[in-house]
Amino acid sequence: MILKDSEYTIQGIPVTSLVREYGSPLFVYDASVIDRQIKRIKNAFSGFPNRINYAAKALTNKGVLAHVRGHKLGLDVVSVNELRMGLDAGFDADQILFTSNSVSFEEIEEALTLGVKVNIDSLSLLEAFGKRYGGGKPCSIRLKLDPLVEHHEGSREWHSHSKFGIHHSRIDDIKALEQEHEMNIVGLHVHNSSSFLDIPVYLETAERMFSIARQFPGLEFIDFGGGITIPFYPGHEVIDVDELGRRMEVQVQEFYKDYGNEPRIWFEPGRFLVSECGVLLTQVTVLKGDRDLPYAGTNTGFNHLIRPKMYNAYHDILNVSNPLASKKKYHITGNMCETDFLAQNREISEIREGDLLAIKNAGAYGACMASNYNSRVRPAEVLIREGKMHLVRKRETYEDLVRNQPGVDW
């Protein structure tokens, strides 16, 4: 969003006009920001063979998927429905990796019937895969690495309790299954999420992955997952992707020297690509408070953006209707029948009842994690592309809420 002449706009479109057209709450995505982030990450890793797979779970919308596909990215999916959505959005099956996580073998088989490669994260699934397909179907192995470097307490603690992947200490078991069933293992994957908070952690992980890869000749790819985030608040230190790319290039080339071929290095950014593109627009319905700070109640809540409640996540909030007013401190709350602070003790331009607020960095894990709690409907979603508004998801209605509830006559 750009503030010019007291008015916030997205690609020249006044934010207030979006709400007049589509109502509120409203998710709005700026495609030019996605374009910028894709260019950044492609440039950062241009020094070695790579593939960027968009992590569909971050923002699972066919309009957004189709836009991302136009940049010739691959796709990482974690369910068959995400997979089908990717195919509907125009991705080819060979551009998609299905990553399993506590799924049944039947779901693995369903993904394979749709023509994609699968990423297996348990020994039991790997054994079932080997018995069923042997060397007839390629697969990838999802690994869990811990502990990470000793001085990164948060990363070490997260990974020591992570459910994702086969623990690196079980490599011998993986190799035994590979040999027994003559399996065609073509990729290795590490789950890192956003707990790989800086370059030393990332580089140590890369070194360990390359060491493991030497035990699997003929790999087509080594996948480093996501884990590259964006700044959410002032002073938030995040990975410099350009420096990471330069330093990883040295490691990759050293690995290639003695490996025998050059497997592509894959990355799966989600939040990095789409978080900053999104804002959640919400209207202030009530102001109240006496001895405490004023509460600004809104017509949204954790049913639409759960991250502040679930993760205590920070999202910058702007007063679109009164941007140049002096700032005051407020608690910003939702309309859920729960304690649902969107922000506390936050300095925001003076708020009046009826004002429109913009919650920033709402592109990733916003709409895709929304619910119908309190029987409230989910918002519409609009993608701004090349200066034009595109409705990419309609606002739900009461009929949508009860559509799958059969009538009863006691």
Distance CA(318)–CA(1), nearest Å, equals 10
Condensed to tens digits (0 to 9), the pLDDT of residues 237-277 reads 788 999 999 999 999 999 999 998 999 999 999 999 999 99
Torsion sign, CA atoms 181, 182, 184, 185: positive
State residue 69's pLDDT score: 97
State residue 161's pLDDT score: 66
Distance CA(189)–CA(170), nearest Å, equals 15
Distance CA(196)–CA(156), nearest Å, equals 10
CATH number for the domain running over 32-272: 3.20.20.10
For CATH 2.40.37.10, the residue range(s) in the chain are: 2-23+278-362+364-402
DSSP label at 215?
Answer: T
Strands 327-333 and 341-349: antiparallel
What are φ and ψ of residue 7, in 5° steps? Answer: -135, 130
Buried b (16+ CB within 10 A) or exposed e, 314-330: bbebbbbbbeeeeeeeb
- Domain 2-23+278-362+364-402: CATH superfamily is Lyase, Ornithine Decarboxylase; Chain A, domain 1 (2.40.37.10)
Among the residues of 190-262, which ranges form H helices? 199-213, 241-259
Pick the catalytic residue from 139, 277, 337, 368: 337
Whether the predicted model's global pTM rises above the 0.85 cut: yes
Mean pLDDT by 10 residues, the chain (410 residues): 94 96 98 98 96 97 97 96 97 95 93 96 94 91 73 50 83 95 95 69 91 96 88 81 95 94 95 96 92 88 95 95 95 93 95 97 96 97 97 97 89
Mention every residue, 6+ apart, whose C-beta is less than 8 A from residue 155. 148, 149, 195, 196, 197, 201
For CATH 3.20.20.10, the residue range(s) in the chain are: 32-272
State residue 170's pLDDT score: 92
Other C-beta atoms within 10 Å of 288: how many? 11
Q: Residue 14, preceding bond cis, omega within 30 degrees?
A: no
**DSSP-derived 3-state class of residue 117:** strand
**DSSP-derived 3-state class of residue 65:** helix
Calculate what percentage of the chain has a pLDDT beyond 70: 94
Distance CA(104)–CA(360), nearest Å, equals 37
In one-letter notation, the amino acid at residue 176 is: A
Structure-block tokens of residue 155: 């990363």
**DSSP-derived 3-state class of residue 20:** helix
Condensed to tens digits (0 to 9), the pLDDT of residues 300-332 reads 999 999 999 999 999 999 999 999 999 999 999
Please, which residues bridge with residue 384 across strands?
A: 30, 389
Strands 278-288 and 221-223: unpaired
| 277 counts as catalytic | no
Q: What is the 3-state secondary structure (H, E, C) of 159-207?
A: HHCCCCCEEHHHHHHHHHHHHHCCCEEEEEEECCHHHCCCHHHHHHHHH
Q: 177 vs 99, 170, 172, 181, CA distance in Å?
A: 19, 11, 9, 6
What is the Cβ-side half-sphere exposure of residue 378, based on CA atoms within 13 angstroms?
Answer: 15
